[in-house]
């Protein structure tokens, strides 16, 4: 078993054994439900990998790692209400299986429990950990608000979009790594590099999600290819296309965006064709590569002996290469 | 100006000057809105009064006091969504003025900000403060869940009801006092007495709310007298009446509870008459008196010189005597 597999297994066991509360059952059952839906657990794994860069006693980062995973699942529970999402990881969302009130209140308790998993941090680090967590958590909410604002706007710029995904998804990856660093005893310089690595790669991952939705291999991609195109979702690709398209291409793109009755496959093929014409694929791939390169370079600059970095770097390269 | 008036004025100035964040405006404007709606601010005032029992430097309890008020307003924002309440302090609720998504997400940020106001607590006390706050916050959510559960149950016992209001409203009053004690440097024995005083009096206040809804002086009571009766709200009075009523009285009470078309005034008069028959008023008054007496006795037993206790005791007696 590799180091990473061992960390992941320990983490999963810890998650399975975690109790969030018992009574009233209506409040705690949805927490157990969403936490048991699975997911790749790669945020808490990053925390453990970052801690193990600096200490062999990475187990002291287990509870903080779970704080990150519980917080992440809290945001999913509340975002799913706001986005009226029926499914999460192929199962009914909490507000569908129970109701919106339950999803609001169980989510609130999850946010509180996330703090519970942080407070065993040693006295010297507790204030720093909490203040960084608070900032990250508020930024994630800001990102979600911006994402909702963008739904009704057609003039979202590339810069605005990148800032939204930075807030909504990347700062938590940055914090996950930074937290592992702090718990592991890393220097302020090292924790800064860890944060920057996570933030940069997080933007890359989200852009890759946007790309795979359009150009992913249907056999490997977990979701329906073209889902974002069908839903007119303002992804990086659409924002770039809207900015670059002129003349007939612009008219055709706008026609598809305002079409109310359409054949889904036809729309996906047509919009993908427009993206091809505008060379959006390679533009996006370059952008993703820039963010990944920047993130990995932060990790390479970490003042830690090379051997210790291997599990984290290998894991990150695996994430970078994923096609689903 | 009395000590309490001075504390309240300082607190209000601090609240007015507090910033919760700026951008995106959709996220932070609702927070400013609900915090500016007013309210008596008596939770944070209790924190300051408890701190000033033990230290002249009560100002170091200002930010923690604001944490309590921000948390309380977070619960109002989310509870109002769940209860579909149109008004809060005579103004539109956040989910009415904006929408439910905004109220969910702004509320989430308020909960995060509450933690922000706690983290300046000195290193030695921070873990204790956070662990007590976490427990209290989770209990408040448990109380709200129980309150919602009770809406569809007709066999709620007195014990269950008292435990629900303890969780939903009293533990936060207990924590408000305890927090002031911890920040002020009180002994563990003193902070325990402060918590118990708040918890006990909080139950008394909620029972008094229930009582005033039925027997309040319309000229002094802020809300419509009889509102709970009209809405079949399961208050302490109704639960006692359901438990005590027999024969014709039970039939009449049940008839009013299941009536769909009724004259509001007639229903209020009739149900109040049933309460009179069953001597519910004096039963409730005795219960309230028990909780107040127990709470005040905790404060009297505090190992603090009598002169220092005066402002807190006077304030508490004022709260106990309020008729609105």
- pLDDT tens column, B6-32: 999 999 999 999 999 999 999 999 999
pTM assigned to the model:
0.96
CA distance linking residue B296 with residue B314, whole number of Å: 11
Q: Is B99 on the interface with A (CB under 8 A)?
A: no
In this prediction, residue B324 carries a pLDDT of 61
Nearest-neighbour CA in chain B from A24: distance (Å): 6
CA distance linking residue A153 with residue A167, whole number of Å: 18
Segment A63-76 shows an average pLDDT of: 98
Identify whether the C-beta of residue B171 lies closer than 8 Å to the C-beta of residue B206.
no
Size of interface A-B (CB pairs under 8 A): 109
pLDDT for residue A262 is more than 70 = yes
CA distance linking residue A63 with residue A125, whole number of Å: 14
- Domains, chain A, in order of start with CATH, read 3-321 (1.10.600.10)
| A207 — pLDDT class (breaks 50, 70, 90) | very high
Mark out the alpha helices in B18-41 (DSSP H runs).
25-36
pLDDT for residue A323 is more than 80 = no
Rounded alpha-carbon distances, angstroms, from residue B3 to B56, B58, B69, B310, B319: 11, 11, 20, 10, 16
Six token digits for residue A70: 């519980």
Element (H or E) spanning A91, and its range?
strand A91-92
Q: Provide, rounded to the nearest whole percent, the portion of chain B with pLDDT above 90.
A: 91
- ipTM, 2 decimals? 0.95
Nearest to B115 among A21, A134, A144 (CB): A134
In this prediction, residue B1 carries a pLDDT of 83
Each residue's pLDDT tens digit, A114-128: 999 999 899 999 999
Q: Which residue has the tokens 């505008």?
A: A278
In this prediction, residue A221 carries a pLDDT of 66
Q: Provide, rounded to the nearest whole percent, the portion of chain A with pLDDT above 90.
A: 91
Q: Is A148 on the interface with B (CB under 8 A)?
A: yes
Nearest-neighbour CA in chain A from B178: distance (Å): 19
pLDDT for residue A9 is more than 90 = yes
Q: Is B150 on the interface with A (CB under 8 A)?
A: no
pLDDT for residue A144 is more than 80 = yes
pLDDT for residue A243 is more than 80 = yes
Chain A interface, best mutation among B134, B156, B164, B168, by max A CB count within 10 A: B134
In this prediction, residue B62 carries a pLDDT of 97
Each residue's pLDDT tens digit, B251-297: 999 999 999 999 999 999 999 999 999 999 999 999 999 999 999 99
Nearest CA in chain B to A140: B109
| A220 — pLDDT class (breaks 50, 70, 90) | confident
| B222 — pLDDT class (breaks 50, 70, 90) | low
């Amino acid at each position: 078993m590799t180091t990473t597999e061992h960390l992941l297994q320990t983490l999963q066991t810890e998650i399975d054994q975690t109790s969030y509360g018992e009574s009233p059952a209506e409040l705690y059952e949805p927490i157990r439900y969403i936490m048991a839906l699975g997911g790749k657990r790669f945020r808490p794994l990053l925390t453990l990998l970052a801690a193990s860069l600096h200490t062999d006693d990475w187990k002291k980062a287990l509870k903080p790692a779970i704080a990150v995973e519980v917080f992440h699942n809290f945001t999913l529970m509340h975002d799913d209400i706001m986005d009226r999402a029926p499914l999460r990881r192929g199962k009914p969302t909490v507000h569908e299986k129970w109701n919106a009130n339950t999803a609001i209140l169980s989510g609130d308790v999850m946010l509180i429990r996330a703090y519970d998993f942080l407070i065993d941090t040693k006295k010297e680090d507790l204030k720093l950990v909490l203040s960084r967590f608070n900032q990250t958590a508020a930024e994630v909410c800001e990102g979600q608000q911006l994402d909702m604002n963008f739904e009704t706007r057609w003039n979202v710029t590339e810069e605005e979009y990148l800032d939204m995904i930075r807030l909504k998804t990347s700062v938590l990856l940055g914090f996950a790594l930074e937290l592992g660093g702090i718990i592991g005893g890393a220097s302020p310089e090292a924790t800064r590099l860890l944060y920057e690595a996570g933030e940069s790669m997080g933007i890359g991952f989200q852009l890759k999600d946007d790309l795979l939705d359009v150009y992913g291999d249907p056999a490997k991609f977990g979701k329906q290819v073209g889902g974002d195109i069908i839903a007119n979702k303002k992804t990086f690709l659409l924002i770039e296309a809207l900015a670059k398209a002129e003349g007939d291409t612009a008219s055709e793109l706008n026609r598809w965006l305002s079409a109310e009755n359409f054949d889904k496959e036809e729309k996906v093929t047509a919009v993908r064709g427009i993206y091809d014409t505008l060379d959006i694929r390679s533009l996006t791939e370059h952008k993703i590569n820039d963010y990944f390169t920047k993130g990995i370079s932060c990790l390479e600059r970490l003042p830690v002996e090379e051997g210790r970095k291997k599990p984290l770097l290998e894991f990150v390269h695996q994430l970078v290469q994923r096609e689903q």
